[in-house]
Structure 1
Amino acid sequence: MRDETREARQAQIESAAYAVLEEKGYSGASMLAIARRAKASNETLYNWYGDKTGLFHALVRRNAAELREMLAAQIAGGGDALAALERLGPALLAVLTGERAVALNRAAAADPTGELGQAIGREGRETIAPLIGQLLEQARAQGALAFDEVDDVREVYLGLLIGDVQIRRVIGRMEAPDAAACAARGKRALALLKRLYAP
């Protein structure tokens, strides 16, 4: 199968997985139900993803792929770390409050096995947070921020950026912020961070 054909097929399967997830929750989202929704064979799903856990790991990984790539490129290329953080903040907020992340988090909250929550942790926060830490360390090396413990400043930044917005989205208490709202919140978080950790 050509790469572009496989990519398109995977996108169909993953869209079907989100639809089944929203209807049946994580425990009810069987590989067979997802295969039927995607009009794919059960064998294809098992060959490509291994099992249901592998499929949902892939969903979380794909949801965070753009952020990982953005962070990795900045870290590898150097450049103005705070300018990169200004671009990252709105993108991160948009992903975390988007329909797919909300669907995954709702399903994880209702999953008694904890498997989906573990996948979200491993493929999401535990992958992205260290990269944000490296970006903050670049900012310190460039003389833009001053701090001792990178873990502390990273938690402060994420708290300023995200606050309770994601949980309010997940429990249905707010609509997804639009691009302007994400940009404004990202700008405010960065301004406060610069004030708190001024050299």
Structure 2
Amino acid sequence: MTERREAVLAAVLALLVEKGAAALTMTAVARSASCSKETLYKWFGDRDGLLTETVRWQASKVRAGAYDRQHLDAGALRESLEGFAANWLSVISSETSVALNRVAIGQAETLGGIVLANGRFAIGERLKGLLLDARNARLVAFDDAEEAFRTFFGLVGRDIQIRLLLGDRFTIDGAAIADDARRAVQQFLALYGATKTPAQAG
């Protein structure tokens, strides 16, 4: 991802926030990003390709953090989970993510799958790697990584995303995000901590 391509994707998100999905044409993006339509078609193929790349770029901002798989301990696990939670909350509460998800909902048959595959599902696979490493280190106990991830996802997000998508105007500052992240991780580890058997955790 070059700086120039990132500038194009940032222009896509800005257009979505300012003018909505109807204004998102290759011509409008080219004008906003100060590049040619030929360049856009060369890089992204078409409008759906451009949106797909935009979703991937936005989702790539949510990471599980860096940790040493061979020396993963309770402190490192908690830090990585809190980092992921805070990162994800910051992304989903941004104007750009709200606009992008509204577009996907409005065009679910074409864009819904793109957002699911490159957003929620891709993010899930990244975090499940950490959860599986934590299970191997006997820090958590679960039978199904997908179910454990869904529980964590719910504890972190609660009703924040749906409220924002439906137009509830509230702001979440850095301190509130950090508090929410700590709370979610504490609750998750209370459910799936290594003192639980997989059956109890389920």
State whether residues 139 and 145 of structure 1, in contact with CA within 8 Å, keep that contact through their aligned partners in structure 2.
yes
Work out whether residues 14 and 96 of structure 2, in 8 Å CA contact, stay in contact via their aligned partners in 1.
Answer: no
Shift of 1:23: 4.9
1:89 matches 2:70: no
Whole-Å Cα distance in 1 between the matches of residues 79 and 133 of structure 2? 11
Q: Superposition pairs for residues 151-170 of structure 1, below 5 Å? A: 151-170=146-165
Percent identity of equivalent pairs: 35
Deviations 1:155-176 (A, max 9, x none): 1111111011011112221324
Contact 1:57 1:120 in 2 (8 A): yes
Query: Secondary structure, in 3 states, of the residue corresponding to 1:147?
Result: coil
Q: Deviations over 1:132-161 (max 9, x none)?
A: 112112222222212222221111111111
Residues of 2 paired with 1:129 and 1:137: CA distance?
A: 12
- 1:182 — aligned with what? 177
Structure 2 CA distance for partners of 1:161 and 1:138, relative to 1, 3 Å: same
Letter in 2 for 1:81: L
Match of 2:36 among 38, 41, 57: 41
Q: Would the aligned equivalents of 2:16 and 2:96 in 1 still touch at CA under 8 Å?
A: no
What's the CA shift for 1:76?
5.8
CA offset digits 1:51-91 (Å, max 9, x no partner) = 111111111111122324x45x4476753333211221111
Distance change in 2, residues 1:77/1:67 (3 Å)? farther
For 1:49 and 1:10, the matched residues in 2 are separated by 10
3-state SS, counterpart of residue 66 of structure 1? coil
Other structure's SS at 2:170 match: coil
Q: Residue 28 and residue 193 in structure 1: after superposition, are their counterparts in 2 closer, same or farther (change >3 A)?
A: same
Does the 8 Å CA contact 1:75/1:134 hold for their aligned counterparts?
no
Which sits farther off after the overlay, 147-156 or 113-122?
Answer: 113-122
Q: Which letter maps to 2:110?
A: E
Find out whether 1:149 has 2:144 as its counterpart: yes
Residue of structure 1 equivalent to 2:27: 32
CA positional deviation for 1:36: 1.9
How far is the alpha carbon of 1:13 from its aligned partner? 2.0
Alignment partner, residue 116 of structure 1: 111
User: CA contact under 8 A between 2:52 and 2:118: conserved in structure 1?
Assistant: yes
Structure 1 residue 24 displacement after superposition? 4.8
Q: CA RMSD in A?
A: 2.2
Q: List runs of 5+ in structure 2 lacking aligned partners.
A: 196-202
Contact residue 94 and residue 182 of structure 1 kept, 8 A: yes
Distance in 2 (alpha carbons) for counterparts of 1:136 and 1:67: 15
Question: Which one has a larger percent helix, Structure 1 or Structure 2?
Answer: 1
Number of equivalenced pairs: 191
1:9-20 to 2 correspondences below 5 Å: 9-20=4-15
Residue 93 of structure 1 aligns with an amino acid whose one-letter code is L
Aligned match of 1:63 = 58
* Aligned counterparts of 1:96 and 1:15: Cα–Cα separation in 2: 16
Distance 1:147 1:12, change over 3 A: closer
Name which of structure 1's ranges 78-87 and 156-165 shifts more when overlaid on structure 2: 78-87
Question: Aligned partners of 1:119 and 1:59: how far apart in 2?
Answer: 10
Following the alignment from structure 2 to structure 1, what is the Cα–Cα distance between the partners of residues 9 and 102? 17
Give the counterpart letter for 2:33 in structure 1: A
